[in-house]
Amino acid sequence: MTNIAILGSERVASAIATRLKASGKDFVVGIVDPEMPSDRWTGPDTKFMSTSKAIAASDIIFNATPGETSVAFLGPLQPELAGKVLVDVSNAMRRDEAGMPIGLFYPDSSIAEHLQAALPDTAVVKTLNTMLFAVMANPDCLSSMPTVFLSGNEASAKERVRALLLTMGWQEEVIEDLGPITSARGPEAFMHFVPHIIANHGFAPFALSIAR
Nearer to ligand NAP by C-beta: 105 or 183? 105
Nearer to ligand NAP by C-beta: 128 or 156? 128
Q: How far is the CB of 1 from ligand NAP (least distance, A)?
A: 26
Distance from C-alpha of 175 to C-alpha of 166, rounded to nearest angstrom: 9
- Binding site residues, ligand NAP, CB under 6 A: 8-13, 31-32, 37-38, 64-67, 69, 73, 89-91, 129, 132-133
Q: DSSP secondary-structure letter at 39?
A: T
Distance from C-alpha of 122 to C-alpha of 144, rounded to nearest angstrom: 34
Q: How far is the CB of 12 from ligand NAP (least distance, A)?
A: 3
Helices (H), 75-210: 78-81, 111-118, 133-137, 155-167, 185-189, 194-201
Nearer to ligand NAP by C-beta: 47 or 212? 47
Q: Is the Cβ–Cβ distance between 15 and 137 less than 8 Å?
A: yes
Distance from C-alpha of 96 to C-alpha of 164, rounded to nearest angstrom: 37
Nearer to ligand NAP by C-beta: 75 or 155? 75
Q: How far is the CB of 2 from ligand NAP (least distance, A)?
A: 21
Q: How far is the CB of 207 from ligand NAP (least distance, A)?
A: 9
